[in-house]
Structure 1
């Protein structure tokens, strides 16, 4: 029999080593000619390099590694993954070690498709989690503190783990409360683990859950289309009770994916794991199309080949203690005329305006709303008004309005930001809502006297606008309506790429 030496990447799986499921290894094989794999009875691995930034399960529990002995951990800079070298008993440790730089095609950006649920006006993403991988539908919350899922309803995964209280994972999540669970042990119910609050952004309810970690996979991108799935083997998230996901969510949704500026939110963990800048871009759509969430570096290309990452307006991004995103709107203009609102309301800190993906329509503090709608009605005096349709307070006869590429031809609304030349323009496609045929309503609602912020920018006003959250520089980039540029957020090219677990994976 002839032998040859080769190198390859292998993903461990199967019943022999469930605790190693999902780990990727680079192997130097003394392989058998004729197609036998190195893990067969005839052929044994002489060198296996496990690539992971996390603690590994004891390898001596795995029959595949019964002849191996543990080599030494290399001392690498923090940006490198720790490498654990397993060397067969009759081999000497290698003189050179594989570093992170040897692993090819580390992604610069990742991408998730975003759909809008018409019944609830919430935006939903499917994220591949667990072992075996399963698409988990989650509400997208730009201000959410973490990713949380319902763990009580058939959470099945061979790679689920609950970090122990006072562990490094708990410290990373800034969690210091230990919890116990008196029910039967299962995902979400272990003793001496870290407890954290998960929040339903629709009902406002919170629940105490368990910090957990499991496999998460997400498509890479070159900015133009979906690429291969890449994997984080031990992504931190919150395990919450079923009751938290039952109020206000679309059917089948199992939790929330939070993009807030916190230590365990999705953008933070992905940037840390893959080594790209803390930056993400959001491009939402109507229910007719899929929007897109880019995580990482530009470009962000939409059909027909337009890079919408530039030019962008820019304004300082303020972050609350809870990790929420605010900007400073200093005044509002309608048809270039300033709306006379109380300036004290627009001088709030950390900012007058909260950006929200879980608020369907922009909410204005009561006095701002009254002044704004009256001013808008005056600027639209030529358009016949009709009986308002809740929750809107100002509606018009749509048959008297002209349709354009950027929505109905109506008065433009300008949000003037940190200086008067820095303006976010809201055109008819984002300012007017059609609650029934023949009626257009101004898509802003009265928030009463004490809303969370004087202005809460709702998701309808964000649709077909690219928003780039540059967390490293504390800046928000904004495009205003992409309809001006002959494209929209539903024009991200998917092609024949697969987002299912069956698509080829790579682990970096």
Structure 2
């Protein structure tokens, strides 16, 4: 019998780790020749089916160990559980008032009354780590340790490169126990802060501050690119262009917002209260830890009714929580871009700049024979009027150009005959086994 597709992300990760163990990593130090530095880095992203969270394995510590982390596009830092068997000969906790603490914009000293261990030292910098699922926070220790990540030329995995002193937060075990998949040990934060993962990688390797996300379903792996394009997916398609673009706004917490000025369904404008879409820093928060797009209550009611009217030909069935509108899937036609349903357009900073959401991203199948509109009611006071969830991001390339404050977006890659699971990982058996550089 063929292996289960649900095991595929784990199998792919094992291939990479076995290949990477064949050679020690290459470490590039700050004074190394610039020509020896990679142009881009890449991480494979798997989706946990039980929690709908996206997870990356990042190799850290000495000796190197894969550490599974929830991917949070708005996370302020990379944080890990340091209470549960954190073993590393290269762990270091910078002293308070050090240059490392200044870089992280941390000015509080902390003490720890327990036995000295990773995450528990006196006169070190304290910072908050956040669980993006439960919303809980915990006070942790700023730390440094080795981090290794595969390089890429844009189409396959290359050699591992290493940052010897990557800054991260050491958090208590309890923070990783609520809402996370089993074995996950923390969060990989991509927010616009001084110690987020993309910021440190760009600074160390001399990249422009740019990263791209391409998420997918549990049956495939997605990818996170850090650095310059191209981003090639099978069969050799560079999905970094053409891209639509819209201004990217950053909150004080380093979160990413865009301005959705109106919503259209089948080219017809949904009558939404304009005041709700004129908020700053933007009407729409992008989230990788919110499974489905959340709409403020009045927007949700109007949007759902409008969508139902545009789908009057499709028999409706009893809604399945958390969704409010569901249809008989046996009466709907399957296409290359999902079920044949009404298109949803997010109109951005001008009427010609549109992010189209097709059936593959708008409809969810909670059980066989049923399609539900994959948008949920956020109540009267959500964090933003629209929180764009990870399901609506799948098989779309999003490029966060932080230097230019611009978001590039592809809309569904299914239109182009590819998807986010088409990054070539077969090369892991050869490329990742090359000598590793310390950059």
Task: Compute the displacement of 1:102 (Å).
Answer: 3.3
Q: Measure how far apart 1:507 and its partner are.
A: 1.4
What CA distance in whole angstroms lies between the structure 2 residues aligned with 1:430 and 1:162?
Answer: 43
Residue 81 of structure 1 contacts residue 99 of structure 1 at CA under 8 Å; is this kept in 2?
no
How many angstroms does 1:89 deviate by? 38
Quote the offset at 1:505 in angstroms: 1.1
SS of equivalent to 2:428: coil
Q: 1:349 to 1:89 in 2, by over 3 A?
A: closer
The 2-side partners of 1:123 and 1:207 are apart by: 22
**What is the distance in 2 between the residues matched to 1:434 and 1:300?**
30
- Residues 56-105 of structure 1 show CA distances to partners (whole Å, capped at 9, x for unaligned) of 9999999xxxxxxxxxxxxxxx9999999999999999999999463642
- 1:278 is displaced (CA, Å) by 0.2
Contact 2:258–2:285 (CA<8 Å) still a contact in 1? yes
Equivalent position SS for 1:371: helix
Normalised to the residue count of structure 1, the TM-score between the two structures is 0.80
Q: Which residue number corresponds to residue 325 of structure 1?
A: 256
Seen in structure 2, the aligned counterparts of structure 1 residues 82 and 272 have a Cα distance that, compared at 3 Å, is farther
Q: Offset of 1:504 from its aligned partner?
A: 3.2
Measure, in 2, the Cα distance between the counterparts of 1:189 and 1:241. 10
What's the CA shift string for 1:206-226, capped at 9, x where partnerless? 000000000000000000000
The 1:148–1:502 alpha-carbon spacing in structure 2 relative to 1, beyond 3 Å, is farther
Structure with higher helix content: 2
TM (norm. structure 2) is 0.92
- Alpha-carbon distance in 2 for matches of 1:364, 1:390: 15
Q: Matched residues in 1 for 2:323 and 2:14: separation?
A: 58
Contact 2:12-2:425 within 8 A present in 1 as well: no
Indicate the structure whose relative CO is greater, using CA pairs within 8 Å and at least 6 residues apart: 2
Structure 1 consecutive aligned stretches of length 4 or more whose deviation exceeds 2 Å: 56-62, 78-105, 498-504
CA offset digits 1:290-339 (Å, max 9, x no partner): 00000000000000000000000000000000000000000000000000
d(CA) in 2 for partners of 1:505, 1:445: 45
Contact 1:110–1:296 at 8 Å: present in 2 too?
yes
Larger Rg: 1
Aligned length in residues: 438
Q: Which runs of 5+ in 2 are unaligned?
A: none
Going from structure 1 to structure 2, the CA distance change for 1:84 and 1:435 (only over 3 Å counts) comes to closer
Change (3 A) 1:386 1:169: same
| Maintained 8 Å contact 1:80/1:99 | no
Q: Is 1:248 aligned to 2:193, yes or no?
A: no
Aligned-pair distance for 1:495? 1.2
Compute the displacement of 1:496 (Å). Answer: 3.4
The 1:127–1:59 alpha-carbon spacing in structure 2 relative to 1, beyond 3 Å, is closer
Residues 207 and 227 in structure 2, CA contact (< 8 A), matched pair in contact too? yes
